[in-house]
Amino acid sequence: MGEPGRIHNVAVDEVLSLLGSGLEGLTSAEAGRRLKQVGPNRISEPERRSWLRTLGRQLSNFFTLLLLAAAGICVVADRAAPGESMDVMGMALAGVAVLNAIFSFIQEYRAEKAMQALLAFLPQQVTVLRDGGEHRIGAEQLVPGDIITI
């Protein structure tokens, strides 16, 4: 078939053969067998976390912990050698760590909301060729080899 992602350059008969289908579509029996084999065609929703847990995960990632450790070292160094302004450097590093965690939290929150919005746009019903004719089925009933009419 050539390179992955180049299916549009392959002859229709070859694509149908690779998918185990035909111009008449799958038979209902074959579609049922494939549905049992591969399961329903649904996007599993990611586990929903509380905003507090998400923020906690951002505050405890490696980069943030590294910045906080450097901030702690600066504070200790300032106590050992006062007047070198290491405490200011430590506060700056801690501030960068917190800001980074907040920005990452906001980005993750927005991405989750965008994903939920996209899931709402997915069609619930599709028209496929099966048994030589068009049939309207639930999107979860789609299987590999189904021919979808647009």
How do residues 65-107 score in pLDDT, each as one tens digit? 999 999 999 999 999 888 888 999 999 999 999 999 999 999 9
CA distance 103 to 76: 28
CA distance 144 to 134: 17
| Cα Rg, the chain, nearest whole Å | 27
Higher pLDDT, 122 or 139: 139
Task: Provide the pLDDT for residue 107.
Answer: 94
Model-wide pTM > 0.85: no
CA distance 83 to 29: 81
Question: What pLDDT band is residue 5 in, cutting at 50, 70 and 90?
Answer: low
Residue 134 main-chain phi, psi, to 5 deg = -85, 135
Question: What pLDDT band is residue 140 in, cutting at 50, 70 and 90?
Answer: very high
Mean pLDDT along residues 9-13: 87
Q: What percent of the chain has pLDDT over 90?
A: 57
